[in-house]
Amino acid sequence: MQCTIYDKGIPQFLASQNPTRPSANKRSNSFICILGKFAVASVPFRDETEIGSTGPMPRSIAMRKPSPSPTVGKSRITTMRKPCLRMIWCYLRTVLHTPQQRKSKRSSSLRNSKFFVHFAAISTKFASSQTPMNKKIYLDNAATTVTDPRVVDAMLPYFTEKYGNPSSTHFFGQEAHIALNDARASIAAFLHVAQESVIFTGGASEAIHLAIKGLAKAHVKKGRHIVASSFEHSTTLAALNDLSREGWTVSFVKPNIQGIVDVDAFLAACTDETSLAILMAVQNEVGTIQPISAIAQALKEKKIHFHVDGAQAVGDMNLNLQHLPVTSFVLAAHKFHGPKGIAALYVAPGVEIETLISGSQEFGLRAGTQNVPLAVGMQKALEIQQEEQALRTERLVEINAYARTCLTETIPDIHFHIDATTPASPHILSIAFPGTSGESLMRRLDLDGIAVSTASACASGSGRVSHVLTAMGISEELAQATLRLSFSHLTTREEIDALVTSLAFHVGQIRHMNITY
């Protein structure tokens, strides 16, 4: 595929867009050197005397007509190789902004120009055509997973045929009620707990708020002190922030450089007034598996309630809660190829918990008509996960190792935040590319049709450095240069090859141009 650039005028445009930089025209002439490396023929810009008056807002790029050169209507065209477009894009963003503008991201004059819009459209079209096999590649499975078609098939009848309210006493309601109880029983069996201990909520965030706030307020007589790790999910931190405004004190325990919370340090933070301890089972940004069992046993002896966020844990840990004495535990269906919008909260039998939304449903702990189709979908997804557990785990281990090898052999100077020997989930890989910006890499990969992330989806777009990486002691420079890759059993080697190829190009280009915006 070749691209066409039309003949109008750019040296004056460079100067007019950035009058504070008199060297703009001079630097534009040096742009020939960049084009010369990638163009079929090196085509210098017209001299300003040849251009004449082009107006304040030229519509396209000016180049002197090579000899000989075809003409199309009134426009002369020059055909170049595709890599040239990327070089033009990066060069313009560098030349047209002062260092202060790049740093503060004040570039509205350029972004609003017709030239920038026109060129952005060309670049986007070019970049989107670069994904091998002309398919989109999804490597953000820690954020959410594709719903298994078998799960969709299981849910469909409860949208159109068995649509009764499970609280109704007539036939339609009882049919839905039976399906809801079957789903609850299936999830309880997976966790090895009593059916009455499983509560359906509208998602993991709701379940986490219900567990943390409900346990803290129900057991306030023991004390208003809570212990948690400093790299919990943003939802957990939000719940703790709410409680801190109501008079609770929270002690945060930092993990080590490998993303593991030390058992002794966690227990040392507990006091006689500690009523609740909180720790996620599998860290959602770096994938480390936490020592939940050892901490749970010790907290049981101290008579401290223990809440565990297990959203990322399905498939990575033995979730037999009979041998894991936790007070509450959260599962999120969309993390294991189930539907979004539903989660299951386990609350240990006999433990008092204060409700957030009063009502009769879900044993009085969560009001509102239960979502039967999603409950059925969660049940089906969990059943499939159990049936295919060994195969999926084997596939994820293979893909993780392949990705590590390919990235290490292809791209120099990269940093894996978690060593291959550290206990971690194989579906999450956190990598820093020094000399780049993770946000910039993520957007460039997105244009290439490859979806990755820089951090948790719930914290994405905040503009802040990942609190997870800073809690681990990672430098701000490395944290800002980090991408999170997260795989599923559906991820292929061909997709990893495409990712590595695209990453190698972008990392090399950003480092060479020294642009980390």
| Number of CB atoms found within 10 A of residue 71's CB | 10
User: Which of 84, 270, 406, 458 is flagged as catalytic?
Assistant: 458
**CA nearest to 137, candidates 382, 461, 501, 510:** 501
Strand, coil or helix: what is 98? Answer: coil
Q: How many whole angstroms separate alpha carbon 97 and alpha carbon 100? A: 8
Q: How many whole angstroms separate alpha carbon 381 and alpha carbon 490? A: 15
Q: How many whole angstroms separate alpha carbon 159 and alpha carbon 163? A: 6
Q: How many whole angstroms separate alpha carbon 192 and alpha carbon 323? A: 9
Q: How many whole angstroms separate alpha carbon 203 and alpha carbon 68? A: 66
Q: How many whole angstroms separate alpha carbon 496 and alpha carbon 399? A: 8
Token pair 């020294």 in the structure block, residue:
514
Q: How many whole angstroms separate alpha carbon 91 and alpha carbon 37? A: 14
263-268: list long-range contacts, CB under 8 Å, 24+ apart.
Answer: 263/291, 263/294, 263/295, 263/298, 266/227, 266/229, 266/295, 267/295, 267/298, 267/299, 267/302
Q: How many whole angstroms separate alpha carbon 130 and alpha carbon 502? A: 8
Q: How many whole angstroms separate alpha carbon 190 and alpha carbon 324? A: 13
**CA nearest to 280, candidates 313, 318, 239:** 313
**Helix then strand then coil, % of the chain, to nearest 5:** 45, 15, 40
Where helices occur in 43-170 by DSSP H, the ranges are 48-51, 83-95, 99-104, 108-111, 114-128, 149-155, 157-160
The pair of structure tokens assigned to 346 is 């386990």
Q: How many whole angstroms separate alpha carbon 120 and alpha carbon 426? A: 37
Strands 343-347 and 328-332: antiparallel
The pair of structure tokens assigned to 485 is 């890759």
Residue 216 · residue 275 · CB < 8 Å: yes
Chain-centroid distance, C-alpha 499: 16
The answer to whether 406 is a known catalytic residue is no
Q: How many whole angstroms separate alpha carbon 122 and alpha carbon 86? A: 10
Point out the residues that are catalytic.
Answer: 458
